[in-house]
Amino acid sequence: MALTTRRLGGWSAIAAIAIAGALLCAGCSSGANPGLEPTSAFSALVAGYLEDAESQGLKDAQVAVLERAKDTGAIAYEDYSAAIDESLDCITAAGFQAERDDPDDSRGFTTVTYSYEGPATGNPVAEACIRAHSGAIEALYQLQPTSAAAAEAMLVKNAALFQECLATHGITFSSEGKTPDEIREEISRLKEEEGIDDPENPGPIYLCFLSSWA
């Protein structure tokens, strides 16, 4: 059976950064009644996961991490990494191959990519292990305010490299002086006007994206 890899990358990474950016400014407003601070917004999001913990079959160790995150507004890398190890141990105990790659800092904060054995249609046993041990932690770790801020800073940096690469191919893309939200809008414009290259037959947009966000 093939290995299924869990990874946040490609255009989906930009989408995740957009979600995280929205979380950073959750409830933002002007005037006398400002919205929630990022940490408060994150804690409210964690509370939603905790409400569903029993129905989703979350194990005690994962619930404990979420409880701490609700109070502190953050999930430590050590807790995130340990939760993934618990998921992989569960998968291998069920008789399926599972492995994790080295930590990856390319998104501005450290993440872990891992793979597990299963058919192309999916592996419900592995998915149940992940849901029980690390799924909520993985999602929230990437959406927490510190991760969101780091990802936005990396977005600005990588967008400049993306712009330079595209310019060598005569493709217009402007990131200079733009906010992360404006950069995302510019990427959306590029996707609409130029389309997304076929990874099987990559053109300059796809290759520039790989070189800038590798």
Task: Tell me the pLDDT tens digit for each residue of 65-76.
Answer: 999 999 999 999
Which range scores top for mean pLDDT: 119-128, 129-138, 190-199? 129-138
56 is written with which tokens? 């989703």
Q: Please report the pLDDT score of residue 198 as a whole number.
A: 65
Class of residue 148 by CB neighbours under 10 A (exposed 0-12, middle 13-18, buried 19+): buried
Contact (Cβ atoms closer than 8 angstroms) between residue 62 and residue 133: yes
Local confidence band at 164 (pLDDT 50, 70, 90 cut-offs): very high
- Report percent pLDDT > 70 for the chain: 80
Does the pLDDT value for residue 180 go beyond 80? yes
Q: Please give the DSSP secondary-structure letter assigned to residue 6.
A: E
Q: Please report the pLDDT score of residue 181 as a whole number.
A: 85
Range in 110-119, 150-159, 198-207 the model is least confident about? 198-207
Local confidence band at 187 (pLDDT 50, 70, 90 cut-offs): confident
Does the pLDDT value for residue 153 go beyond 70? yes
Does the pLDDT value for residue 8 go beyond 70? no
130 contact partners, CB below 8 Å, separation of at least 6: 6, 87, 91, 138
Local confidence band at 12 (pLDDT 50, 70, 90 cut-offs): very low
Q: Please report the pLDDT score of residue 35 as a whole number.
A: 47
> What percent of the chain is helix, strand and coil (3-state, nearest 5)?
60, 5, 35
5 contact partners, CB below 8 Å, separation of at least 6: 113, 114, 115
The rounded mean pLDDT for the chain is 82
Q: Please report the pLDDT score of residue 20 as a whole number.
A: 52
